[in-house]
Chain A
Amino acid sequence: MTAIADTAILTGRSLRHITRSPDTIITTALMPIAFLLLFVYVLGGAIDAGADRYATYLLPGILVITIASSVSYTAFRLFVDLQGGIFERFHSMPVARPAVLWAHVLTSLVATLVSLGVVVLAALAMGFRSSAGLGAWLATAGILAFLTLALTWLAILPGLTATTVEGASAFAYPLILLPFVSSAFVPTETMPGPVRWFAENQPVTAVVDSVRALLAGEPVGADLAVALAWIAGILVVAYALAKAAYRRRIG
C-alpha cells in the first residue's frame, strides 16, 4: 500500500514537471505532425493515394513515431533526476524503491497519451477519417498504451546508464527511424528483397497494420497477435535490463 501511495505522490511530482514545461508535449507532437504535413502535402502527391486517404494510411506509423519521440523525454527526465541529488534523497528516505522508477513510467504514459491525442487531432485536420467504433478506438488506445509502456522501460535504460544528456535521449533516433522501414509509409511490397524481408518481420509493421485495420473498421487478423507478442517481448527484456541497470546504479 505504501508503495502505491509513494508512486502516486512521486507521479504527481513528475507530472507537474510536464505541466510546468508544456513545451515537452509540444515538441513531442511537433515532429510527428511535421512528418504528417511533409508526407501528406509534399510527398503525398507523388504517392498515388490522394491526400485524405494517405493521411488515413499514414497515421498509425506517425503515432508510433510520436511514442518513440515522447519516451526519449522520459530518459531525459530520469537522467536529470539522477544528476541532481533528488534521487539519492528519495533512496535515503523510507520510500518504496520501485515507486521512484514507476513514477517516471506512469508520467511517460500520461504524457505520451496526451501527445498522441494532439497528433490525432492534427491528422483529423489534414483529412484523416476513421470508421472505427468505440471498441476499435479503445483497442487502438490499448495497443498504443502497451507499446508506450514497453518503449518507456526501454527508455529507462539509457536514462539510468547515460553519461551525458545527449546520450540519454539519442537512443530514440533508431526508434523514430524504424517506422520508415515498415509498412507505415508505403506498402512493403514495393521494397527490394532484403529490405522487404526486414520490414515485414519487424515489430512496427505488425503494430501499424493492426492499428490501421482497427481504425479502418476492418478485422485485424493475425497481425494483432504478432504485434502484442513483439510488445510483450520488448517489455520483458527492457524491464529486466532496466532493473539490472538500476541495481548496478543504486548498489
Chain B
Amino acid sequence: MTSTTRPAPTSGSGAISPRLLGDAVGVDLGKHVKAFGPLPSQHKVKRGHAGPLVAEVEASGLAGRGGGWFPTGRKMNAVVSAAGASRKDPIVVVNAMEGEPAASKDSVLVHRNPHLVLDGAVLAAQAVGSPVAYVVAHRGSRSVGTLERAVAQRTGDPVELRVLSAPARYVASEESALAHFVGEGIGLPVTVPPRVFESGVRRRPTFLSNAETFAHIALIARRGSGWFRQVGDPPQPGTMLVSVSGAVAQPGVVEVPTGTTMRQILGLAGGTTGSVAAAVTGGYGGAWVSAGAAIDLPFSVDGLRPVGGVPGAGVLAVLPTDACGLVETGRVVQWMAGQSAGQCGPCRFGLAAVSQDFAMLAGGKLKRTGLGALEKRLGIIPGRGACRHPDGVVRFAASALQVFGDEVQRHLSGQCSAGRRTFVLPVPAGKVDLPVARPGEEWR
C-alpha cells in the first residue's frame, strides 16, 4: 500500500486536529522541540518506586496501541512492582517493528515525528527506573535508519537509547519474542509465564509496548492526563493511528479519536471506491466484519465487540463487493501459517492444515465434510501455542466463515460470485514456506 498521510481536518465529520502526526518535523531535534516543547524533566526514581509520570499515564487511560489495548499505566506499575520484588532494574523496549502487512502507522509515525517516540521511551524508562530503552524496528526497513539518525541528534538524555533491528518476521514482534531478541538475539517467542513485565529482557522486568504508545506517553508527560482524555472513547481515550487500505480512494494512515466510526475513517481516506462488502479490523490476527453491520459502529474495543471486530493494531482494510472474501482470507491465512515459528505443534501443523482447507474452500474444491473438519480444527487450535499467533489466525479464519457465510455455501457447490481477479489485501511477496522444522539461524 502507499503511505500517504493526511492530517485529519479540524472540522466536520467529527475529526480533530492530529496529535501525533500533526507537526511532521522528521529527525530535526530543534524543530521537534519548537513544535512540541522540550523533554519534561523528571527526578530519578528508586528501584521499586514509580515516578509521577506512571500515575499520570494511569489517569490518562492510555491503552497499548500494538493491538492488545491493555492499560499502559497498569503495565508500568506491574513492571515497577516486579523490579522492587526481584531487585533488578527494569528494561524498556519500544516495538516499532510493524509486523502487520496491512499496517503502516508505525513507520509513518517514526518518519514524521521520531522524537515523539524517543521522548516517550526516555520518559517511560526514567519513570520505571530503567537505565536503557531499546527501540526495535524490522531489519531492512526505513525506520531503522530514521531512528538511528534521530538518536544521533540527541545529547544529554537521562537514559541510554539504543536502536536495534530484528528479523522481519511476523511473530518476532510478539512481546516474548521481542524481549528474547533484545536479550539473547533470538526473535522467537518463549514459554510464558513468567510474563515479560516480570521477567523479560535478560530476566529483568520489562516494559514493552508499541511505538505509538510511547508517542502518546511523550505528550501525556507534557500536557497531562486531562488533556489526553479530551477526545476518544472513554474506556480507551485519546487518538489512534489507523492504517486504511483496500477499496478507498487514498489508502494511508489517518489519526482519529478512538471510537470514530468506520464511515468517518473511510471518509478521511478519501472515501470508498464503489460499494464495499466487508472489512478486516485489527490486522491479520484480527477479524472480518460485514460492512453493513459495522460501518456506523465506533472503531474501538467496545464499539466493535458486538460484530466481533477489534481495533487491534489500527488496521482497517476494506473489501469491495466484487472481490471474494474467502479467496482473500485464504491468501492471508497461508501467509500467516508460514509466519509460524514452528515451535509449537498445534500452530505449526494446525495452521498448515487450516491454510490447506482454506485454499480448497477458496478454489471451490472443499466438500461439506471438509468444512466440518475445518470448523473442528478452528475449535481445537486456540490457546495451544506458547504465544497468541495461532489464536489470531484462527479468529481471522473463523470470522471469514461467519461474515462470508453465503459465499461459503456457493463455494461448497463449486461456485464463486466474485467478478474481480485481482487481489485486495496486501500479502508480502515471495514464496511462502510452511515451517518444516524447529527454527534456526534465520531468527537471529
Real binding pair: no
User: Footprint of B on A, CB under 8 Å?
Assistant: none
Interface residues, chain B, with chain A CB atoms under 8 Å away: none
